[in-house]
Amino acid sequence: MIRVYGECRKGLVRKLNEDYIYVSNNPYFILADGMGGYKGGQIASRIAVESAKDFFKETPQVSVSEEVMKKSILYANKIILEQKKDYPNLNQMGSTLITVALNKDKIYWAHVGDSRIYYFKNGILKQITEDHSFVMNLLKKGKITIDEAKKHPRRNEITRAVGINEDLNVDTGEIRLEKNSVILICSDGLTGMLEDYTINKVLSEYKFNTDENLKNCAEKLMELVYDAGASDNISLILISYEND
């Protein structure tokens, strides 16, 4: 059995909510975090999610694969680039994008940017995606430490996004779900405020055997983000899996 809960809220600093999510009873889940100046990010994230959603409407669930997930992001990229040609005042807009599809006991995913997918089971939280960011590149080269990355002046600069270039490299993967496992999809409005060990601690406090517990867990994470200052907008999608 699958349970799903999503939240998308404006933080305490920014005037506009540039995050956008899609959560439904069908097997597709989408999250985007936009960028691009006045209203640009808000528009980009909406177009990204709606374009991916339109793509999936034409995709039978049985055909879901990593390649299909990649195409969902490339399609959204194409649509945003077309919109930018028609509206030059939005030429700076772009967005992170995560698309996730469920097929039986497997999750297929694709992503660009620094929004994240985590897998949680038996008290252990594992980051599945790799951030496409300036500081991640420095970390991989050993030029800065994790602590330095958290304070780096360019820590919010991403190196991949939909709506920037026609040639877009998309990361993809699949996850085999185990009984009582949880998938967390989130924007950096969550991970920029809460350390992984804090997120892990919160997830460990809940049993995800009811819709209410799933919602309460999401609300707790949101509460902690606001307590920490909520400098960015916050989006998250929780997916729990129980093998009947």
Q: pLDDT value at position 230? A: 95
Q: What percent of the chain has pLDDT over 70?
A: 98
* Lowest mean per-residue pLDDT among 38-42, 107-111, 187-191, 233-237: 38-42
Give 92-105 pLDDT, tens digit per residue: 899 999 999 998 88
Q: Which stretches within 58-179 are classed as H helix?
A: 66-86, 134-140, 146-151
Give 119-164 pLDDT, tens digit per residue: 999 999 999 999 999 988 898 888 888 888 888 888 888 999 999 9
- Is residue 244 over pLDDT 70? no
Calpha distance 85→77 (Å, rounded):
13
The mean per-residue pLDDT over the stretch 171-187 comes to 96
- Is residue 62 over pLDDT 70? no
List Cα–Cα distances, 17 to 39, 41, 97, 160, in angstroms.
9, 8, 15, 21
What's the mean pLDDT when you consider all of the chain?
93
* Mode of pairing for the β-strands spanning 106-112 and 94-103: antiparallel
- pTM score of the predicted model: 0.95
Q: pLDDT value at position 38? A: 60
Q: pLDDT value at position 201? A: 98
Calpha distance 152→129 (Å, rounded):
21
Q: Which domains does the chain show, CATH number per domain? A: 2-241 (3.60.40.10)
